[in-house]
Amino acid sequence: MFGMLTPEQIENKLDRILLKVQKPGRYVGGELNSVHKDWDKVTTRVALVFPDIYDIGVSNVGLKILYDQVNQREDALAERAYAPWLDMEPLLREHGIPLYALESKQPLACFDLIGFSLPYETLYTNTLNILDLAGIPVRSEERDDTHPIVIAGGHSTNNPEPMHAFIDAFVIGEGEEVIHEIIDVVKKWKAERNNPLSAFRREDALRELTKLQGVYVPRFYHTSYMEDGTVAAIEPTISEAPKVIHKRIVAKLPPPPTKFLVPNIDIVHNRVSVEIMRGCTRGCRFCQAGMITRPVRERSVEEVVAAADEAVRATGFEELALLSLSSSDYTYIKDLVDAISKRFEGRKLTVSLPSLRIESVSVDLMEKLKQHRSGGFTLAPEAASERMRRIINKFIPDEDIINTTREIYSRGWTTIKLYFMIGHPSETLEDVQAIADLCKRVIAEGRKVAGWKVKLNAGVSTFVPKPQTPFQWVSSDTRESILEKQALLKRELFKDKSIKLSWTNPDDSLVESWLSRGDRRIADVIYTAWKNGARFDAWEEGRKFETWMAAFAEHGLDHSFYTHRQRRTDEVFPWEHITAAVRKNFLFQDFRMSLEGQIRVDCRLNCFACGILPTFANLRRENPGEGWKCPEVKTPARKMEVELPLVGD
Amino acid sequence: MRVRITFSKQGPLRFIGHLDLHRLWERAMRRAGLPIAYSQGFHPQPKISLAAALPLGFSSRGEVLDVRLNEELTVTDISTRLQESLPPDIKIIDVQSVDERLPALQTQVLSAAYNVHLTEAIDGSELTRRVETLMNSESLLRERRGKSYDLRPLIEMLSVITEANGKVWLKMTLASREGATGRPEEVLSALGIEADTTRVERTRLIFQA
């Protein structure tokens, strides 16, 4: 579609269109701390793509880590690209401007490696669109030695199958180390493909990639199906490819990035983010992140404070976010908060500490950070009936919620945000009624201590079952049921002007549902939906539910097979060959416990043998001590596949 | 102290709007460790004021801002510290200490000078003729956002420059007072030139003596 243009030609063409779009600053780069390397002085050029708009992508921490990792190499460079917004895409096409990287303005097709970040499934159509806008064949099988190798990583690749036709290789798990190994293979391919005496071609490079732990190359696997449409087996077609792809982890979190990009336009998260801990020991059954990011690894207080200080100096940002899945579980959270508030005293800096447990200690922590009371205080009970809290394994008694929210209001916050989910397995209208009742009680109790000014924002999203979780077997709630539950909440809560209710469009949840647990056949549906205009599926502006329905019909598939089917207990999942190292039988046992309303406590207190330690026994043995929150492994080294007896088992 | 900074804005930063530029300066000053003064109240705002908004897409060699600092520093010190903290496409041209009692910067601007480069070939003599006709007219009624106004009195100077190599471009000075601001793209439109075939640079702002 596009000839190769030079960066100068691209810039000249851009000049003609940039004033016709909203926020042209999205498309020009020039941010402080962006890295501009000499294009001709490196051998491997990597384009890192976040397939959502700039405003969201530029602050993504995952890509920032990889950007730093690659740019630290002498022999490689990393640049960035994002999805052009709906107003920009037609202009790029009309003016024949191929999608380019923001630093050098080189077309993406001129890079050797394109790495997509896919943290959520609703970015799939954008990924196809970006490849197409770059003039790169959208289907993996149509690419040859003249095209970049296209890889993807991020949480949604825990079921890579729906995207298997478009991505050459997936990274399962953490990318910090494996990105270097991938670059080494790409470097070799680049050198050999121009050598007429060498027979090493794209296919050979992809074969090499299968040998790296955590890398999945879908073209070397075959899926067969049963008569009922479920998967019969997924098997490698070449001897090098492993039968099961184990996720990759880093034993010790590398130093956090500090030279964050400072965008020149307003974006969603204008802030420095420092990851204090990776993984979560709580075991909430709906939470994919909590299952796939194990084991828990913590950074030291000193490392976090030093990185935060350096990053604030390097960016001038007004806000610092201390990131983790569950801040309250960070071992030295009190010390950290003390150290941060001391270090930044008197500086105009807002510190945010997300995912706090519902207890009064959390209020003390936030108070110490001298949070702007105007920002509101966020808590996530997720469910409001005791039965449902047992099912999802997030057990917080009502009294704890009431006591904590009362405390928050009485200490001067006027707004509390409570996050809930509807559509949990076996949920009834009574469980939903409990959400409304709890909200009313929070407000009523708040008024007793702080008067009529208290406000409550209730964010009620819809649960979507995810692969590699205890709920991977369950059906998504139907549209009718979700609408009925949302109607109940609106009826109950609209009367009170102090309560603001927000909810998710059920169509959006359905799109997410079939993309999350689809098999290889969903790839054609994605392709057709994209061809017919689907993109920005997470955005109201992009909503194209009918387009998706038509795409299912065109390929003779029924979406409810993927969304509304309770999966058999012995079912082979489309992602059966991918593992986040938490064993399927552990997940199944947890699912069974959920049906019986049984709780599993924090696994820091008691190891439940989820499967992490046998897989990563060597890494744990080499990294003893309290960095990891799993028990220590003291037995002698053995082969990875062999299961080890566990401490506390 | 009150400091007046003259700076250029080039490259990708041409596409950064007024509010974003304000924030960019605030962050740069914070990175430079300058003791910016803040307004009082619930939401303290840094005391930085930009002289005149630069339309999106224009580059500039003469933007001006005033900032109030809580400490006395030398202008050289301010200049060095700031230049290291700014993105590469903003360059400091001049830093001066100014009288605290001067009226607000925005109220002191009188007019603004622009150079307009044409990215498509144009007949120089035809353009000169159109410029002469325009400058010789008494008034030039135009409509902008549904309101009619006279553009002619807002044009203080307009001329065609023909270089030795035949390249033709325009120079203009337009009023830039509150309620009386001439816009280069309006002048270009009056001359029958499409805005997307031009590249406009503001060369300087002219202030009350």
Topology classification of domain B2-102: Alpha-Beta Plaits (3.30.70)
Give the pLDDT of residue A372. Answer: 63
Cis check: omega of the bond before A295, within 30 degrees of 0:
yes
A148 touches chain B (CB under 8 A): no
A630, A296 contact by CB (below 8 A): yes
Model confidence over A391-417: pLDDT tens digits? 999 999 999 999 999 999 999 999 999
- A32: which residues sit within 8 A by CB, 6+ positions away? A261, A262, A315, B86, B87
Helix B18-31 to helix B75-85 angle, to the nearest 10 degrees? 110
Give the pLDDT of residue A170. Answer: 98
Of B15, B20, B199, the CB nearest to A266: B20
Distance between CA A309 and CA A303 in Å, rounded?
A: 10
pLDDT reading at A645 higher than 50? no
What residue spans in chain B does CATH classification 3.30.70.580 cover?
Answer: 2-102
Q: What percent helix, strand, coil does chain A show, rounded to 5?
A: 40, 15, 45
Lowest mean pLDDT among A183-192, A500-509, B159-168: B159-168
Distance between CA A621 and CA A615 in Å, rounded?
A: 12
A378, A355 contact by CB (below 8 A): no
- At CA A150, angle to CA A173 and CA A234, rounded to 5? 60
Distance between CA A133 and CA A345 in Å, rounded?
A: 48
pLDDT reading at A644 higher than 50? no
pLDDT reading at A3 higher than 60? no
Structure tokens of A53?
């708009």
Residue B142, classed as helix, strand or coil, is strand
- At CA A111, angle to CA A107 and CA A116, rounded to 5? 95
Domain segments of chain A: what residues?
A: 7-246
What mean pLDDT value characterizes chain B?
Answer: 93
pLDDT reading at A373 higher than 80? no
Query: What residues of chain B have any CB closer than 8 angstroms to a CB in chain A?
Result: 11-17, 19-20, 23-24, 26-31, 38, 44, 56-57, 85-89, 119, 195-196, 199
DSSP states of A142-209 as a string? G--TTS-EEEEESGGGGS-GGGTTT-SEEE-B--TTHHHHHHHHHHHHHHHHT-TT----HHHHHHHH
- CA distances from residue B176 to A99, B18, B22, B117, B156 in whole angstroms, order as listed: 38, 16, 19, 21, 10
pLDDT reading at B17 higher than 80? yes
A323 touches chain B (CB under 8 A): no
Model confidence over B61-119: pLDDT tens digits? 999 999 999 999 999 999 999 999 999 899 999 999 999 999 999 999 999 999 999 98
Instruction: Domain A7-246: state its class.
Output: alpha beta
pLDDT band at A616 (very low <50, low <70, confident <90, very high): very high
Residues in B closer than 8 angstroms to A315, CB to CB, are 27, 31
> Which residue type does B74 have?
T
Tell me whether residue B100 is exposed, middle or buried, using C-beta atoms within 10 angstroms of its C-beta: 0 to 12, 13 to 18, 19 or more. exposed
A32 touches chain B (CB under 8 A): yes
B8, B64 contact by CB (below 8 A): no
Q: Give the residue among A217, A270, A276, A267 at the shortest CA–CA distance from A241.
A: A217
Interface test with B, best of A32, A88, A258, A347 (most B CBs within 10 A): A32
Q: How many CA atoms lie within 13 A of A326 on its CB side?
A: 21
Give the pLDDT of residue A371. Answer: 61
Place of tokens 């100068």: A8
In chain A, pLDDT over 90 holds for what percent of residues?
Answer: 90
Calculate mean pLDDT across residues A245-261: 96
- A314 CA: distance to closest CA in chain B (Å): 6
Lowest mean pLDDT among A421-425, A465-469, A642-646: A642-646
- CA distances from residue A513 to A120, A313, B183 in whole angstroms, order as listed: 11, 42, 52
Distance between CA A262 and CA A271 in Å, rounded?
A: 9
Q: Can you give the length of chain B in residues?
A: 209
A10, A100 contact by CB (below 8 A): yes
Interface test with B, best of A19, A23, A103 (most B CBs within 10 A): A19
Lowest mean pLDDT among A151-165, A518-532, B137-151: B137-151
pLDDT band at B123 (very low <50, low <70, confident <90, very high): confident
Instruction: Domain B108-207: state its class.
Output: alpha beta
Residues in B closer than 8 angstroms to A348, CB to CB, are 30, 38, 44
pLDDT band at B44 (very low <50, low <70, confident <90, very high): confident
Give the pLDDT of residue A1. Answer: 43
pLDDT reading at A270 higher than 80? yes
Give the pLDDT of residue A360. Answer: 86
